[in-house]
C-alpha cells in the first residue's frame, strides 16, 4: 500500500483517531480539537458520507466548533466530535455502537460523546455498555435524555436576542419562522414556537418527519428546495451544515438567520453576503449550545432547572456578541470567535498544578524490591 498524505501541515487538532472494525461495518473518525479547557466533549454523527475525505472534513470542522461552543458557553470542556460513516436508516446495530463505544473507552475520558445527527438515545445506551464516557443517556441510566429539546429552548433564547436587535420587540408571537429540518431539534423548535403563537413553516428531506410535524403540530410543510424562499422573519437551519452559501443566501426572504445546525456558513466569507443583504446571523455554535449545556450537566448530576437557567444565558451571550460586533465593526461570527478565543487564552494562563496524585502512581504497588534483590 503506498500512502501519500499531507495531513499535519494545516492540522489544528490535537488528535485524530480512525476507528476501523470491518467485522461490524464500523468506519468512524474521532477528532479531538482542543483539551485546553477540559476533556473534549461532543456528539457522534452517523451519516452516509460520499467519501472518507468528506467525513474527515466534517469531523475536523465540527470538533473545532465544539471547542468554541464550550468556551463561549462558559463550560470547562474542550472540543471533540466523532463521525460514523454509514446510513443511520439501514446500518445501525447493537454491535456497531458497542464496538464504537469500545474505541471511545480506549481514550480513557479524553473524549466524551453524546448524540448528533443520525444517533439517538438508544444508540448511546449501546455505547454505554462498553464505556462510561458517554452523555445524553436515558433517565433510567441517570442521564439527561435527549438534549434536543434543550437545544431548541436555547435557540428560542437566541431568537429573542435577535428580534430585540432587529425588530426592537420582546415577543416572538405573530412572527413567521421557516425551519429547515424537522428532526429532533427542528421538531421540538416547531412545537415550542407554535405554542408561543409563532407561524411555523417547515421542511424535511425525510418525508416521515415532514408528515409527522404537519399532522401533529399543524404546521405548513414545503419542499426542501423552496424553504429558502419562504417569506419569513426568521430562517432557522436545523438540518446539516454548509447551507448558507452563494446559491442560497440570495434566495432568503428573512431578516434573521437563527437555528441549531452546526457550521451553517459554507465558508466564513458567506457571513459578509448575509450582512450585505441586511440579514442578522446568529453565530451557530453560540445559539445551539443548549444541548451541550444539558449533557455537560449530566456529568455533575443532572438538574433540568439548572440546565434551563444556563441555557437562558444564550440570550445574554448573543446580545453581547451583537454589541461587540457593532462596537468593533466586525461580523457577529467574528465577535463570537473573539469571545471564545479570549476565554481559552485566559483559562490557559491559569497556573495549574500538574503534579500526579499519589493514587495515580500504580507501579509502586506492584514493584517488589525484595524479589529483584
Ligand atoms: P436529526 O438527524 O434529528 O434531524 C435533522 C433533520 O434534517 C433530519 O430529519 C433530516 O432528514 C433533515 N435534513 C437533512 N438534510 C436536509 C435538507 N437539506 N433539507 C431539509 N431537511 C434536511 O438531527 P438533530 O439532532 O435535530 O440536529 C439538527 C442540527 O442541529 C444538526 O446540524 C446538529 O449538528 C445540530 N445540533 C443538534 C443538537 C442536538 O441537541 N440534537 C445540538 C446542537 C446542534
Which residue has the least CA distance to atom 35 on ligand 1? 261
C-alpha cell at 223: 419542499
The residue whose CB lies within 8 Å of the most ligand 1 atoms, and thus the one to mutate among 181, 229, 251, is 181
3-state secondary structure 168-213: CCCCCCCCEEEEECCCHHHHHHHHHHHHCCCEEEEECCCHHHHHHH
Q: Is the CB of 176 under 6 A from ligand 1?
A: no
Residue 151 has pLDDT above 60, yes or no: yes
Q: Is the CB of 121 under 6 A from ligand 1?
A: no
| Domain 148-342 is found in CATH 3.40.50.700 | no
Dump pLDDT digits (tens) for 211-266: 999 999 999 999 999 999 999 999 999 998 899 999 999 999 999 999 999 999 99
User: What is the spatial distance between Cα 87 and Cα 203, in angstroms, rounded to a whole number?
Assistant: 20
- CATH architecture entry for 7-66+77-134: 3-Layer(aba) Sandwich (3.40)
Q: Is the CB of 239 under 6 A from ligand 1?
A: yes
User: What is the spatial distance between Cα 276 and Cα 250, in angstroms, rounded to a whole number?
Assistant: 10
Residue 301 has pLDDT above 90, yes or no: no
Q: Pick the catalytic residue: 64, 69, 81, 92?
A: 81
pTM: 0.89
% of the chain residues with pLDDT over 70: 94
Residue-level pLDDT at 350: 87
Q: What's the distance, CA 36 to chain centroid?
A: 19
Residue 367 has pLDDT above 60, yes or no: no
117 CA distance to ligand 1 middle (Å): 5
Residue count of the chain = 373
3-state secondary structure the chain: CCCCCCCCCCCCCCEEEEEEEHHHCEEEEEEEEECCCCCEEEEEEEECCCCHHHHHHHHHHHHHHHHHHHHHCCCCCEEEEEEEECCCCCCCCHHHHHHHHHHHHHCCCCEEEEECCCCCHHHHHHHHCCCCCECCCCHHHCCCCCCHHHHHHHHHHHHHHHHHHHHCCCCCCCCEEEEECCCHHHHHHHHHHHHCCCEEEEECCCHHHHHHHHHHHCCEECCCCCHHHCECCEEEECCCCCCECCCCHHHCECCEECCCCCCCECCCCHHHHHHHCCCEECCHHHHCCHHHHHHHHHCCCCCHHHHHHHHHHHHHHHHHHHHHHHHHCCCHHHHHHHHHHHHHHHHHCCCCCCCCCHHHCCHHHHCCHHHHC
- Average pLDDT, stretch 300-323? 94
Residue 142 has pLDDT above 60, yes or no: yes
Dump pLDDT digits (tens) for 328-348: 999 999 999 999 999 999 998
Burial of 339 by CB count in 10 Å (0-12 exposed, 13-18 middle, 19+ buried)? Answer: middle
Q: Is the CB of 186 under 6 A from ligand 1?
A: yes
User: Same topology for domains 7-66+77-134 and 148-342, yes or no?
Assistant: yes
Average pLDDT over the chain reads 93
Q: Is the CB of 63 under 6 A from ligand 1?
A: no
CB 213 within 8 A of CB 221: yes
pLDDT band at 145 (very low <50, low <70, confident <90, very high): confident
CB 88 within 8 A of CB 46: yes
Lowest mean pLDDT among 3-17, 29-43, 187-201: 3-17
Residue-level pLDDT at 373: 47
% of the chain residues with pLDDT over 90: 84
For the chain, domain boundaries: 7-66+77-134, 148-342
Residue 173 annotated to the active site: no
Residue 24 has pLDDT above 60, yes or no: yes
Residue-level pLDDT at 229: 98
Amino acid at each position: 500500500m503506498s500512502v501519500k498524505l499531507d495531513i499535519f501541515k494545516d492540522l489544528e487538532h490535537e488528535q485524530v483517531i480512525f476507528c476501523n472494525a470491518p467485522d461490524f461495518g464500523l468506519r468512524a473518525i474521532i477528532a479531538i480539537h482542543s483539551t485546553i479547557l477540559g476533556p473534549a466533549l461532543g456528539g457522534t454523527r452517523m451519516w452516509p458520507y460520499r467519501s472518507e475525505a468528506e467525513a474527515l472534513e466534517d469531523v475536523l470542522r465540527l470538533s473545532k466548533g465544539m471547542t468554541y461552543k464550550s468556551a463561549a458557553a462558559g463550560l470547562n470542556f474542550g472540543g471533540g466530535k466523532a463521525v460514523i460513516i454509514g446510513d443511520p436508516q439501514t446500518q445501525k446495530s447493537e454491535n456497531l455502537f458497542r464496538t464504537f463505544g469500545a474505541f471511545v473507552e480506549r481514550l480513557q475520558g479524553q473524549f466524551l460523546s453524546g448524540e448528533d445527527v443520525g444517533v439517538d438515545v438508544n444508540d448511546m445506551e449501546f455505547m454505554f455498555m462498553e464505556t462510561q464516557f458517554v452523555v445524553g443517556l436515558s433517565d433510567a441510566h441517570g442521564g439527561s435524555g435527549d438534549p434536543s429539546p434543550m437545544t431548541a429552548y436555547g435557540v428560542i433564547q437566541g431568537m429573542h436576542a435577535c428580534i430585540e436587535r432587529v425588530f426592537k420587540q420582546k415577543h416572538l408571537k405573530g412572527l413567521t419562522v421557516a425551519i429547515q429540518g424537522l428532526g429532533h431539534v427542528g421538531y421540538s423548535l416547531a412545537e415550542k414556537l407554535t405554542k408561543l403563537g409563532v407561524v411555523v413553516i417547515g421542511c424535511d428531506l425525510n418525508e416521515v418527519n415532514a408528515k409527522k410535524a404537519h399532522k401533529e403540530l399543524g404546521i405548513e410543510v414545503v419542499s426542501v428546495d423552496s424553504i429558502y424562499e419562504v417569506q419569513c422573519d426568521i430562517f432557522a437551519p436545523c438540518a446539516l451544515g454548509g447551507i448558507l452559501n452563494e446559491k442560497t443566501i440570495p434566495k432568503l426572504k428573512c431578516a434573521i438567520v437563527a437555528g441549531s445546525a452546526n457550521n451553517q456558513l459554507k465558508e466564513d466569507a458567506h457571513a459578509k453576503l448575509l450582512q450585505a443583504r441586511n440579514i442578522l446571523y446568529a453565530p451557530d455554535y453560540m445559539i445551539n449550545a443548549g444541548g451541550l449545556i444539558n449533557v455537560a450537566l449530566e456529568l455533575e448530576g443532572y438538574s433540568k432547572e439548572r440546565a434551563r437557567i444556563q441555557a437562558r444565558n444564550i440570550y445574554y451571550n448573543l446580545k453581547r456578541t451583537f454589541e461587540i460586533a457593532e462596537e468593533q465593526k466586525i461580523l457577529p461570527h467574528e465577535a463570537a470567535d473573539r469571545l471564545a478565543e479570549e476565554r481559552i487564552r485566559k483559562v490557559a494562563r491559569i497556573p495549574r498544578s500538574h503534579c500526579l496524585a499519589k493514587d495515580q502512581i500504580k507501579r509502586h504497588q506492584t514493584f517488589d524490591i525484595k524479589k529483584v534483590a
